């Protein structure tokens, strides 16, 4: 457990809080492990009925820590254990407990795609959303290549997943992955109230209703696996190494034809 993911539980709500504001809450392998552990705890603990994702600072999360990923954070361990990022993505996709998110600032990459698996998402009027996978010579993840076109339509999804366009909270609501846009100072209270409201309901009925709404998740998990294979391949590519170095050096990448 690291102090970069804060956990607290009260009133049936487990809060998982990004707490690395000095690094824009960029997610490391250790943070993914803590998030995955938290979701597993929620599924096993009958006293936990809802999981609330939030964050410290002005940004929800800048997505993957690029330096961490360049160092091989997404590759399996020598013992063959699943990378912590994949464990988190699987857990959030298969969660039976309700998931709520409060997005108070920038959400990038997995900071956006994880929201596609949440049941209720509230965004501050200051929130923005960007998925620069192609910009980094990668591919979408978390089954976003399936879920975003389904929810927003192909052309809208292409704005984010292909063009890497940043959108504001109002536009994200139009895309369908944000429930409501609220005043910045009111966000934390509104999201917590929503989580506590869900937690006050019949837990069995809540879980069964979510299960019915989600339906068969086989297609989601299959797409997630397909994306994972391609994502891992791209992490080894010359173009990703160039994109990563360009990001760290704050310059524009130069991609090869065969990268």
**pLDDT on residue 74:** 53
- Output 45-48 pairs: Cβ under 8 A, ≥24 positions apart: 45/14, 46/203, 47/9, 47/12, 48/9, 48/12, 48/13, 48/14, 48/97
Mean pLDDT across 142-165: 98
- Calpha distance 180→173 (Å, rounded): 7
Mean pLDDT score across all residues of the chain: 94
Which residue in 48, 17, 49 sits closest to 34, CA to CA? 17
Residue 49 has pLDDT above 60, yes or no: yes
- Calpha distance 176→173 (Å, rounded): 5
**pLDDT on residue 92:** 98
* Residue 154: pLDDT band with limits 50, 70, 90: very high
**pLDDT on residue 258:** 72
Q: What is the pLDDT of residues 60-105, one digit of tens each?
A: 999 999 888 767 655 555 556 788 999 999 999 999 999 999 999 9
In degrees, to the nearest 5, what angle opens at C-alpha 104 toward C-alphas 98 and 109? 75
Residue 255 tokens read as 């991609």
- Calpha distance 207→213 (Å, rounded): 10
Check: CATH 3.90.226.10 for 5-185+201-205? Answer: yes
Mean pLDDT across 174-186: 98
Q: How many other β-carbons are positioned within 10 Å of the β-carbon of residue 213? A: 8
Residue 124 has pLDDT above 60, yes or no: yes
User: How do strand 50-55 and strand 98-103 relate by DSSP bridges?
Assistant: parallel
- Calpha distance 124→234 (Å, rounded): 33
Q: What is the pTM of this model?
A: 0.94
Lookup result for tokens 């069995």: 204
Query: Diameter of the chain by CA atoms?
Result: 56
User: Helix count (H) and strand count (E) of the chain?
Assistant: 11, 9
Instruction: Give percent of the chain above pLDDT 90.
Output: 86
**pLDDT on residue 247:** 84
- Calpha distance 77→144 (Å, rounded): 25
* Residue positions counted in the chain: 259
Q: How is the chain split into domains, by residue range? A: 5-185+201-205
**pLDDT on residue 75:** 57
Q: Which stretch, 105-114, 228-237, 250-259, has highest mean pLDDT? A: 105-114
Mean pLDDT across 231-241: 91
**pLDDT on residue 81:** 75
Mean pLDDT across 136-141: 96
Mean pLDDT across 14-38: 97
Instruction: Give percent of the chain above pLDDT 70.
Output: 95
């Amino acid at each position: 457990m690291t102090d970069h993911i804060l956990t607290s539980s009260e009133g049936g709500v487990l809060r998982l809080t990004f707490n690395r504001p000095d690094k824009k809450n960029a997610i490391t392998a250790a943070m993914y492990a803590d998030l995955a552990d938290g979701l597993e705890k929620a599924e096993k603990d009958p006293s936990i009925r809802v999981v609330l994702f939030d964050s410290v600072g002005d940004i929800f999360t800048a997505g993957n820590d690029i330096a961490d990923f360049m160092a091989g954070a997404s590759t399996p361990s020598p013992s063959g254990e699943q990378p912590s990022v994949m464990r988190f993505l699987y857990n959030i996709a298969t969660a039976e407990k309700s998931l709520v998110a409060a997005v108070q600032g920038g959400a990038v990459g997995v900071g956006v795609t994880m929201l596609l698996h949440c049941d209720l998402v509230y965004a501050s009027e200051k929130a923005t959303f960007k998925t620069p996978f192609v910009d980094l010579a990668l591919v979408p993840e978390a089954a976003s290549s399936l879920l975003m076109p389904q929810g927003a339509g192909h052309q809208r999804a292409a704005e984010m997943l292909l063009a890497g366009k940043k959108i504001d909270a109002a536009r994200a609501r139009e895309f369908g992955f944000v429930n409501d846009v609220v005043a910045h100072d009111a966000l934390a209270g509104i999201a917590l109230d929503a989580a506590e409201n869900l937690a006050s309901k019949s837990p069995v009925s809540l879980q069964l209703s979510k299960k019915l709404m989600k339906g068969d998740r086989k297609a989601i998990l299959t797409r997630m696996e397909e994306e994972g294979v391609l994502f891992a391949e791209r992490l080894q590519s010359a173009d990703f190494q160039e994109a990563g170095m360009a990001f760290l050096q704050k310059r524009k990448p130069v991609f090869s034809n065969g990268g």
